[in-house]
Chains A and B, each alone.
Chain A
Amino acid sequence: MDLWQLEDKTFDSRLMIGSALYPSPKIMEDSIRASGAQIVTVALRRQAAGEGGKNPFWELIKELNITVLPNTAGCHTAKEAITTAMMAREVFETNWIKLEVIGNQYNLQPDPFALVEATKVLIDEGFRVLPYMTDDLVLAQRLADLGCTTLMPWGSPIGSGRGLMNPYNLKTIRKQFPNLNLIVDAGIGKPSDAIEAMELGFDGVLLNSAVALAQEPVMMAEAFKHALIAGRLSYRAGRMQERDMASPSTPTVGTPFWHQFK
């Protein structure tokens, strides 16, 4: 596949994958490898006292030797998200942050106002902010104005697996921001959803539940690997013109038993 420049790094794969909800650490590891993803999302949570720094999960992720993208999942205010981002920068030794500020508990919809507020502070602090956002065109403009070069609108609510709820909005953002990296983040349920996102011209897809909660996560991870490739190639190749009427694909010249006068 064509190389992909995201922020200050270059990747072969356009799939970004989460590390949560897998049936076991081994299945997580095998799934991430099978997906071909070169970016994995991680989070921060309270550590139990007395563990002395042992963290098998983190050791496993480091062994994968791929780019780590920390998130601010679970934050409900700009202040919480800013503090979490700063903690993540120190622990994960990266200035990349998947910025999430949740505004509604029912559908985990991002809070656009808090997102803009936190983005401004974090960009000033030297972060590369990859904002998880709704598919709102004006919000995209505000975030781009602040200096985001990557935007991550949702396909549908986190963990819903409903695919792309509003392809029109995603398409519009793509058209309006041809030079930004656009990634569909959240809501992908199956590989054909990822293909649809890529065929809209999106640069990548970030998913977690669709693989982790599949009946066979490792197999599904591989399916997504191929879906991303198919979707990207399809977009670059350019689809045929849609037509209302049928048009035979097999040549009609030389057809036997041809009823010429009918």
Chain B
Amino acid sequence: MTISVNGELKTFKTDKLTVEELLKAMNFGKGIAVALNETFVMKSKYHETNISDGDRLDILSPVQGG
């Protein structure tokens, strides 16, 4: 399946992928928050939130702000 991760298209050779598996596969560490198709996904739901072909993920972390 092909999904968008932070605006970049990524292809995975599987039809089943959870948010938890994706974060591990792409080496995203702690201190992040995830939105799937512009909807917030709680950390406690990563393991049971499935990603589908065409989904958009945003993975955010702290930066400077005013």
Contacting residue for B65 out of A18, A50, A80, A86, CB 8 A: A18
Which DSSP category, helix, strand, loop or mixed, fits chain A's interface?
mixed
Residues from chain B with a CB closer than 8 A to the CB of A208 are 66
> Could you tell me which residues of chain A, from 47 to 78, have a CB within 8 Å of some CB in chain B?
47-55, 57-58, 61, 70-71, 73
**Residues of B within 8 A of A (CB-CB), count:** 27
Q: Is the CB of B28 within 8 A of A57?
A: no
Q: Is the CB of B59 within 8 A of A46?
A: yes
Q: Is the CB of B66 within 8 A of A90?
A: no
Contact flags A66-101 to B (C-beta < 8 A → 1, else 0): 000011010000011001101110111000000000
Binds B, one of A4-12, A36-44, A197-205, A244-252: A36-44
Task: Give the interface residue-count category, chain A.
Answer: 35 or more
Given contacts A58-B31, A58-B61, contact A209 B38 (CB under 8 A): no
Identify 28 residue pairs between A and B in the complex whose beta-carbon atoms are under 8 Å apart, listed by A's number: A18-B66, A19-B65, A20-B64, A22-B64, A41-B65, A43-B62, A44-B62, A45-B60, A46-B7, A47-B6, A47-B60, A49-B26, A49-B59, A50-B27, A51-B27, A52-B27, A52-B28, A55-B31, A55-B61, A57-B62, A58-B61, A61-B62, A71-B66, A73-B66, A87-B35, A90-B42, A159-B66, A209-B66
List 3 A-B pairs, minimum CB-CB distance, nearest first: A53-B29, A43-B65, A18-B66
